[in-house]
Chain A
Amino acid sequence: MSLRIVVTVKYVPDATGDRHFADDLTVDRDDVDGLLSELDEYAVEQALQIAEDADDAEVTVLTVGPEDAKDALRKALSMGADKAIHVEDDDLHGTDAIGTSLVLAKAIEKAGYDLVISGMASTDGTMGVVPALLAERLGVPQVTLLSEVSVEDGTVTGRRDGDTASEQLQASLPAVVSVTDQSGEARYPSFKGIMAAKKKPVESWDLSDLDIDADEVGLENAYTTVDAATERPARTAGTIVKDEGEGGKQLAEFLASQKFI
């Protein structure tokens, strides 16, 4: 029986670019290049490994985002995913995490799934709540923040390294999994993979395909609002000294002056 894996990915503004807000206090995407969120590459990698270990499996990558977000899907396809789904709709602009989880959940249900794999968080919003929201919406177990994951005989197991303890988790499929950057290095797309990706199917869905009303998503219908965004004032230039044998002592003097010693 085929194992259907859906990997949720996000197209994010490059963190090394100069990110700022648009007038409506959403992220201005025009000024900064986007890319597949690095943390999602780990999710794609684990999906591919699980698929390789299964007798028969299919890996679908799913994203919600503007036209450019197809770039994130292409990257995942060139790594080796089988097909892609792009949910795009003008009414989605400014959708918050709660709304995004609704769109993803509906798309995952429409696609059909046994296993959903996500990154631990996006590298832009870094909220880290979408996998748990998906599990709640889909009504399936969450097996999240895994640094090790495996799937066998309809059961997913994994290791979750928390602040105070390391836990072994186990759940029956279908389930939602999220993986950390400790789960294993993500592969680079090969030339062959890049060429093959061009021929792989990318489906485009809009809100009507998912039976979602415009008033359930978008900036106007978000559950939270940003009232103000202010650029952090540049830090006043600090004192910088060159070590000429007394650097450690000078630093100690500074720490003492600030009452840290």
Chain B
Amino acid sequence: MAEVLVYVDHVDGAVRKPTLELLTLARRIGEPVAVALGNGAADTVAALAEHGAVKVLTHEAAEYADYLVVPKVDALQAAVEAVSPAAVLVPSSAEGKEIAARLALRIGSGIITDAVDLEAGDEGPVATQSVFAASYSTKSRVTKGTPVIMVKPNSAAVEAAPAAGAVEALSVTFSDKATGTKITSRTARESTGRPELTEAAIVVSGGRGVGGADNFALIEALADSLGAAVGASRAAVDAGWYPHTNQVGQTGKSVSPQLYIASGISGAIQHRAGMQTSKTIVAVNKDAEAPIFELVDYGVVGDLFDVVPQLTEEIKARKG
């Protein structure tokens, strides 16, 4: 069976959920071979094996943390040459896209970004994408080289499938361009204790209707009652009420959770572009004419300052 390379996104050995989703998708088109790079690479092996990696190629070097992107491209290229895979899967994160794009150029291959599903086809893997603010769904294939496909978080349910996870050291020679962009300092993002926005099963977002930074406490309380991530519309971010890293929309993050709750968000096309693929959509808004109500499975026309706290209390009561 053909081997499929899966690029491992991890933080000091802790594998991030989108990578486990990739392993699940990879099994549909071949045998997953994972590539784990940098500090903690060896610590990823157990999680990767548990989710179907037949082999894990590891390489640790300071370059991965000290320089931007290119050392990882060099390593992935070495892995492609070592394995000759049927496809390469990379999480569709900002960094994942940059690594995958440069790799594709080097190996003469086409790229597909932001796939939301993947299946085996007669002429190679077929990727589903959601385009034009999710108003269309397309099926695409790479027609030249080894398909390099970037898959969005939440595109597949993680399934355990224990496999050998045989560890092999990857041999990497860094190119002379590898040290071109130096990372002179790194500040880890302060943990809020909430799930990461793009990975969360439930997202609770606030917009212009929230009316101020302090009022976001209402949105956070609702999120915490559901174990959800907090999102914000561009209007709320531009007003300085919530950090840009939490922005959902065309110029922010694209999310695809099981449940999306929009509070005080009108639903401009730019926001819809970032959340329209959510499985269930719920909105609370004073304005009955707000376009967000065209998308919802359930909407409440009402003041979020009444509805959201009542909802939070009710959820807490039901959960006991």
Q: Which residues of A contact B (CB under 8 A)?
A: 15-16, 19-21, 25, 38-39, 96-98, 101, 120, 123, 126-129, 131-133, 135-137, 139-145, 147, 157, 160-172, 175, 180-182, 222-232, 235, 238-243, 245-252, 254-256, 258, 260-261
| Residues in chain A near residue B181, CB distance under 8 A | 141-143, 169-171, 175
- Expressed in whole angstroms, the Cα–Cα distance for A101 and B101 within the complex equals 11
Whether A227 and B311, one on each chain, are in contact in the complex, defined by CB atoms closer than 8 angstroms, is no
Whether A133 and B105, one on each chain, are in contact in the complex, defined by CB atoms closer than 8 angstroms, is yes
Distance of B131 from chain A, by nearest CB (Å): 8
Q: A142-B180, A260-B259 are in contact. List 20 more A-B contacts (CB 8 A).
A: A15-B273, A127-B97, A129-B111, A133-B101, A135-B102, A136-B101, A142-B98, A163-B196, A163-B198, A168-B186, A171-B180, A229-B137, A239-B298, A239-B299, A240-B299, A240-B300, A242-B288, A243-B306, A248-B309, A251-B282
* A-B residue pairs in contact (CB < 8 Å), sample of 9: A132-B102, A163-B94, A180-B251, A222-B143, A238-B281, A241-B299, A249-B310, A260-B258, A261-B226
Whether A101 and B105, one on each chain, are in contact in the complex, defined by CB atoms closer than 8 angstroms, is yes
Q: Is B114 an interface residue (CB 8 A)?
A: yes
- Expressed in whole angstroms, the Cα–Cα distance for A166 and B131 within the complex equals 29
Whether B141 and A132, one on each chain, are in contact in the complex, defined by CB atoms closer than 8 angstroms, is no
Whether A15 and B306, one on each chain, are in contact in the complex, defined by CB atoms closer than 8 angstroms, is no
Whether A254 and B69, one on each chain, are in contact in the complex, defined by CB atoms closer than 8 angstroms, is no
Distance of B316 from chain A, by nearest CB (Å): 10
Whether A98 and B104, one on each chain, are in contact in the complex, defined by CB atoms closer than 8 angstroms, is yes
| Residues in chain A near residue B73, CB distance under 8 A | 136
A119 closest partner in B (C-beta)? B251
Distance of B277 from chain A, by nearest CB (Å): 9
| Residues in chain A near residue B102, CB distance under 8 A | 132-133, 135-136
Whether B136 and A232, one on each chain, are in contact in the complex, defined by CB atoms closer than 8 angstroms, is yes
| Residues in chain B near residue A167, CB distance under 8 A | 68, 183, 185-187
| Residues in chain A near residue B244, CB distance under 8 A | 147, 161, 182
Q: Give residues of chain B (85-103) contacting chain A, Cβ–Cβ below 8 Å.
A: 93-95, 97-98, 100-102
Whether B141 and A231, one on each chain, are in contact in the complex, defined by CB atoms closer than 8 angstroms, is no
Q: Is B11 an interface residue (CB 8 A)?
A: yes
| Residues in chain B near residue A97, CB distance under 8 A | 101, 111
Beyond A15-B270, A254-B282, whether A260 also contacts B202 by CB under 8 A is yes
Q: Which residues of B contact A (CB under 8 A)?
A: 11, 68-70, 73, 93-95, 97-98, 100-102, 104-106, 109-114, 126, 130-145, 177, 180-189, 196, 198, 202, 226, 244-245, 250-251, 258-259, 269-270, 273, 280-282, 284, 288, 293-303, 306-315, 318-319
Instruction: Choose from B135, B245, B310, B315 the contact partner of A161 (Cβ within 8 Å).
Output: B245
Whether A132 and B143, one on each chain, are in contact in the complex, defined by CB atoms closer than 8 angstroms, is no
Distance of B160 from chain A, by nearest CB (Å): 22
Distance of B216 from chain A, by nearest CB (Å): 18
- Expressed in whole angstroms, the Cα–Cα distance for A144 and B102 within the complex equals 13
| Residues in chain A near residue B250, CB distance under 8 A | 15, 123, 126
Whether A255 and B141, one on each chain, are in contact in the complex, defined by CB atoms closer than 8 angstroms, is no
Distance of A173 from chain B, by nearest CB (Å): 11
| Residues in chain A near residue B297, CB distance under 8 A | 235, 238-239, 254, 258
Beyond A127-B114, A248-B313, whether A242 also contacts B301 by CB under 8 A is yes
Distance of A199 from chain B, by nearest CB (Å): 33
Instruction: Choose from B11, B111, B132, B301 the contact partner of A20 (Cβ within 8 Å).
Output: B132
